[in-house]
Amino acid sequence: MFRQLAVVKNNAQIVSGLWKVKAVHLDKSVKEFEIDSLQDFNALPFPWLRHFAGEIYYTIDVNVENPDAITVLDAGSLVLV
């Protein structure tokens, strides 16, 4: 579930690394790329994203050393809860 939080809690773990992005267009074509942070599509060097219609999947591997010590994963603009 994705939910935007106004304030990030002190015990948040910052999510960093390469995000794998898979864009599945309504016409069933698929494009995949990687980004190092979540960002506005207009900032990416992919003109086709400006007129994209479909689903986009984001994947990143997260290593949580002590799951009991955190309650929030901070992904930047979105916070995974």
Q: What is the pLDDT of residues 4-52, one digit of tens each?
A: 444 445 666 667 789 999 999 999 999 999 998 887 888 888 998 888 9
pLDDT at position 42 is 81
Tell me the pLDDT tens digit for each residue of 49-76: 888 999 999 888 887 777 787 667 666 6
Does 11 share its domain with 22? Answer: no
From 7, 17, 13, select the one nearest 70 (Cα to Cα): 13
- Do 9 and 29 reside in the same domain of the chain? no
pLDDT at 30: 96
The range of the structural domain enclosing residue 6 comes to: 1-16+68-81
Shared-domain flag, residues 55 and 27 = yes
Whether residue 23 sits in one domain with residue 11: no
- The edge-to-edge listing of strands for the beta sheet with 72-74 is 2-3, 79-80, 72-74, 12-14
Q: For the chain, give percent helix, strand, coil, nearest 5.
A: 15, 35, 50
Q: What is the dihedral of CA 49, 50, 56, 61, to 10 degrees?
A: 60
SS3 31: strand
- Specify whether 32 is located in the same domain as 48: yes
Q: With bands split at pLDDT 50, 70 and 90, how would you rate the model's confidence at 81? A: very low
What pTM was estimated for this model as a whole? 0.66
pLDDT of residue 4: 47
Query: In this structure, which amino acid lies at residue 48?
Result: W
Number of structural domains found in the chain: 2
